[in-house]
Chain A
Amino acid sequence: MARGIFNQLFIKEIYNKISYLIRSLAESAIALLLAFLVDTLFLLSLGYDLHIIFRIFGTLFVTGYSDLNYLFIKSSPYIATGLAFSIPMLVGIFNIGGEGQLYIGALTALIISYVTKSSALSILAGSLAGAFLGLLIILGRVYRNINEVVSAIMLNWIMYYLVAYIITSYIYDPYAPYQSRPAPSEATIGSLQMFIYSVSIAILIYIVLYYTAIGYRIRVIGKSYKAALYAGFSPSREIIYSMIIGGGLAGFGGSLIPLGIRPYVIDNTMSVLYGIGFLGIGIGLLGRNNPIGIILASLFISGLVIGGENVERLTGVAPEIVDVIIGVVIISLAMPRVYRLLVRRGVFQ
């Protein structure tokens, strides 16, 4: 009897999981088709003919995924900043500070690499620096009710100029003073190594979220604050933890960049860092706040970004137009989720 019910429920559970997967994939496929349609109309309206439009799509989606090394380098920091957004999001905190946490992580890792010449220690230090920044933001929120979005945006700019200042004033390269000294070769890491680190951390976070008590509490708080209080959890503690983890992840992502991307420096325009933290928000949403989803979303977006670079080079289309094309794709992919949210709020009958 018990056996029978067990099997029946067990099979149903597997069936549910598979059907969820198929539904998600089908939704994404339809969204992607719609994005193509909108992009085509957009390009047509600008006067491009269909021949060029197909070349743009071809370059964007084919060349983006052919160079694995480049794909790994691009996607690794995205995985980290995607998680940096999603973990706090699970408890209802909007971490827009991933950008600043990424900057400070990159700078700290770079400086520590000069001293220790060890990649592991540098990454650790970078992560801690990011975590510290996250902690700062969330302490203000929990104990002084300071809006985390406002303080995070301000800190993003403070970090931007702080990093630029330190690079050009203290650790500049005497032969190219607009950029920092490169990380020592003993401390640099390869593209595959970078990717393995990021993916392992994402999987670790997945395990923490779904198989440990603290992850469970974090998820409960995000879903129902009242139920969490009833169950005897202390939400502020979990909220603080989530932001320490979030900041730490962004710092981790930042530390990968000067250690893993040639020529292993940060320049005073911050071009290797800029925007990676912000794009993490989109990646977190696209990955549905699920670490495994975030890995996939990072790979997908990185491919588009790389493809976009190639589109510029090979077809001569302006980079702004490529950004619009990619933007439409990302928004379309997020639509099913937005739609479901609206349905839940009762916007449609």
Chain B
Amino acid sequence: MDKKVIIEMRGIEKIYPDGQYALRGVDLDIYEGEIHGLLGENGAGKTTLMRILYGEIKPTKGIIRIRGRVVRFNGPWDAIRHGIGMVYQHFSLVPSLTVLENLYLSLLPMRRKITSRQVRDLAEKFSGILNIKIPYNDYVDDLPVGVQQKIEILKILMRGAKILILDEPTSVLNPLETTELFRMLKRLRDDGYTIIYITHKLREVMELTDRVTVLRRGEVAGRVLTKETSERELALMMVQGEILELTKRSGVNRSYDKNIVLEVKDVWVKDHRGLDVLKGISLDIKRGEILGIAGVQGNGQVELAETLVGVRRVYRGRIIFKGIDVTNKKPIERYRMGLSYIPDSRSVGLVYGMNLLENYILTKINEYTNKLGLINWGKVKLDLIKSIEEYNIITRALDTDVRFLSGGNQQKILLARELSKKPDLLIVSEPTHGLDIASTNFVRRKLLEYKESGRSILLISTDLDEIFELSDRIAVINEGKIVYVGYPNELTSEKLGLLMGGLHG
């Protein structure tokens, strides 16, 4: 490596006002023209470090040098002036404006008198490297996520960024879009751009990056050249000392009882705009199986879960749960019949601003109230402590606001609450989204254990590894339709990717 160091971060420390250490003296070197992977579990400090580099938050201690000169950023605009751009997990595009309007908007602060003609000319310069025909007049809302991401990157390039920071960019993409993104990033690198790639996925680091810095609990756990390392080595760095317990792939379970728990017959549902989001879904889930629903985000998964729970109204079709037609039953009635739901968003499944005890009874309050409606908090306390032990939930106290728990612990609380009701069918959406390796394995193991006890799980996930690892059968959803149902051993991830993309593999 005879390349120049472009960014030097030295002794970066960040302590949040509540006394929490996010970073404890991190050194980071980025060479010009490389793809640098920043790897770590959730809460390792990757995003905090990059938000410091982008000027969004100020470090408590430490210095940053860009091309050898010490810089001090008061805000992202300073970072942009030094050629640094950031692509967030959630895009910063205005969904109700067109692409051209969005590009115009992002350039306006730097060039007051720019015309839309000039915006187009500037954008065209980058269309080759991005391999995209820019849909100037389309509304951002209507574009596929992959294209939106390209527009987001285009926006940053047009502002003159030479150093790109990408925060978990593949979490919203399907496998095909991911491949395309990687090709594009490599082209950018070959053109002299420097890319910092934040992720917790080992495979992506191996496939894409030149060098890797591994963070663990706010400290650097290792710096390696990608070609001199392996997934196993990186994984050990990330968890260091913690036992890496990969869940064993359970054999395809074909010996389940043939009883059907849930039957969905040709269900149609409209969204708030009156458009069909579920177009004739038919499914059945048998006792003692995990049915995995694979699909790219936004193809009707959330709506399907909400429909099965009863939050959304079905205008055609029927839902039969344990032999009873529940199509028009309220959520609370379905819960009482033995249905349980863990939503993909933890801020829906939990009440932020309320403590552990209060959250623990959210969906099972009737277990803890007497005839007068009085809540038996003593019993809640005892049950919660049992769950805290069983699920190894780390909290400072029982009356801690759940907002202050880590994502993994929040998910465990949700899981503990819903599984403790012993539902006949658990609907669970993205159970390990954004969790670290240890929590992910724990959650998956719990789900498998629960299935072994003879109950059923409907698993909705965009994580294909998860689908393959847990499911007894796999269904693929695309644009509100189930396009495939089959056994895991009949599928490859490539075929699955094509099905998810709407192509028949």
Q: Which residues of A contact B (CB under 8 A)?
A: 1-2, 5-6, 9-10, 12-13, 15-17, 211-214, 216-217, 219-220, 223-224, 226-227, 229-234, 349
Contacts and interface: CB of A to CB of B under 8 A. Distances in A.
Given A9-B385, A227-B348, A211 B377 contact: yes
A272 B236 CA distance: 75
30 contacts: A2-B386, A5-B389, A9-B388, A10-B398, A13-B399, A15-B397, A16-B397, A211-B374, A211-B375, A211-B377, A212-B372, A214-B373, A216-B358, A216-B361, A216-B365, A220-B354, A220-B358, A223-B351, A223-B353, A224-B348, A224-B351, A226-B347, A227-B350, A227-B362, A231-B331, A231-B363, A232-B331, A233-B332, A234-B330, A349-B57
Interface string B356-392: 0010011101100100111101000000011011000
Given A17-B399, A227-B349, A213 B354 contact: no
Given A2-B385, A230-B341, A232-B363, A212 B398 contact: no
A224 B385 contact: no
A6 B57 contact: no
Nearest to A214: B373
Nearest to A228: B351
Interface residues of B, number: 41
Main secondary structure of the interface of A (DSSP, over half): helix
B389 A216 contact: no
A15 B396 CA distance: 11
B185 to A, nearest CB: 30
A213 B369 contact: yes
A15 B351 CA distance: 23
Given A230-B348, A349-B57, A220 B385 contact: no
B397 A229 contact: no
Contact of B354 (A211, A219, A232): A219
A13 B397 contact: yes
Which 10 A-B pairs give the minimum distances between C-beta atoms? A232-B332, A12-B397, A232-B331, A223-B353, A212-B373, A213-B373, A227-B351, A224-B351, A213-B369, A226-B348
A212 B354 contact: no
Contacts of B358: 216, 219-220
Between A211, A213, A219, the greatest number of chain B beta carbons within 10 A of the residue's beta carbon is seen for: A213
B114 interface: no
B375 A349 contact: no
Contacts of A15: 397
Contacts of A9: 385, 388, 395, 397-398
A232 B58 CA distance: 43
Given A2-B389, A212-B373, A230 B343 contact: yes
B373 A224 contact: no
A13 B349 contact: no
Nearest to B343: A230
A64 to B, nearest CB: 35
B336 to A, nearest CB: 9
B349 A212 contact: no
A298 B395 CA distance: 36
A10 B331 CA distance: 34
B311 A230 contact: yes
B335 interface: yes
A12 B396 contact: yes
Contacts of B362: 220, 227, 231
Contacts of A230: 309, 311, 331, 341, 343, 348-349, 363
Interface string B312-347: 000000000000000000111001000001010001
Contacts of A233: 332
